[in-house]
């Protein structure tokens, strides 16, 4: 009879006190539900030290459960997004078909909106294909060409002229001061 009661008790090495397995199971459940250590201690009557000792064993399991939960959430969101995208594409498709079949030509605003829709769909298609989403140059550029572009200064000639004027004005001012003394 004594052996069975020892099985249902868990030895807490820090205090030497043994807690009933029911308390430990409740503490684990509360920990897995992300309750604080203080709340777990209050609910179970276990010491905080005993709970921290148990948490060392449970933390890996809780992290695995969290990762599984996050994966489920992401999967659900992905499915929701896919269904919303399909519905949006159908709406856009119907709107553009109605606009194209209409006897009255589209207004400038309607044409701009249709162009924006086309650009967005083009970007999505490019992303799906792994291509750049913006029009870019595929030509490689050399280090020499990069340095040349960096050194290009459209105001260089103007700056040079202004510096030369300042130098001349400075020399004229010095000459004028010498002639007056």
List residues bridging with 11 in a β-sheet.
Answer: 18
Give pTM, 2 decimals: 0.40
Cβ neighbours around 50 below 10 Å, total: 25
> Is 144 inside any structural domain?
no
Question: Which domain range does residue 32 map to?
Answer: 7-104
> Is 19 inside any structural domain?
yes
The encoded tokens of residue 128 equal 């799906």
> Is 30 inside any structural domain?
yes
> Is 93 inside any structural domain?
yes
132-136, long-range: CB < 8 A, 24+ apart: none
- Count of domains for the chain: 1
> Is 77 inside any structural domain?
yes
> Is 70 inside any structural domain?
yes
> Is 142 inside any structural domain?
no
Residue 45, phi-psi category: left (phi > 0), alpha (psi -120 to 50), beta (remainder):
left
> Is 143 inside any structural domain?
no
CB contact at 8 A, 106 and 99:
yes
CB contact at 8 A, 26 and 7:
no
pLDDT tens-place values along the chain, 181 residues long: 333 444 444 544 554 568 999 999 999 999 999 999 999 999 999 999 999 999 999 999 999 999 998 898 888 888 888 888 888 888 888 888 888 888 888 888 888 888 888 888 788 778 777 777 776 655 666 777 776 766 666 666 666 677 777 777 776 666 666 666 5
């Amino acid at each position: 009879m004594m052996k069975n009661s020892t099985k249902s008790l868990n030895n807490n090495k820090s205090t030497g006190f043994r807690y009933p397995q029911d308390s430990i199971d409740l503490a684990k459940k509360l920990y897995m539900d992300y309750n604080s250590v203080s709340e777990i201690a209050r609910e179970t009557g276990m010491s905080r030290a005993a709970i921290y000792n148990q948490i060392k064993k449970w933390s890996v399991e809780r992290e695995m459960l969290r990762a599984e939960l996050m994966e489920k959430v992401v999967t659900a969101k992905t499915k929701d997004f896919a269904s919303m995208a399909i519905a949006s594409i159908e709406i856009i498709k119907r709107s553009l078909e109605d606009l194209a079949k209409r006897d009255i030509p589209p207004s400038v605003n309607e044409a701009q909106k249709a162009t924006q829709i086309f650009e967005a769909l083009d970007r999505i298609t490019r992303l799906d294909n792994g291509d750049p989403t913006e029009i870019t140059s595929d030509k490689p550029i050399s280090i020499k060409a990069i340095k040349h572009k960096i050194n290009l200064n459209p105001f260089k000639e103007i700056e040079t002229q202004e510096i030369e004027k300042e130098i001349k004005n400075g020399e004229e001012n010095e000459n004028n001061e010498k002639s007056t003394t």
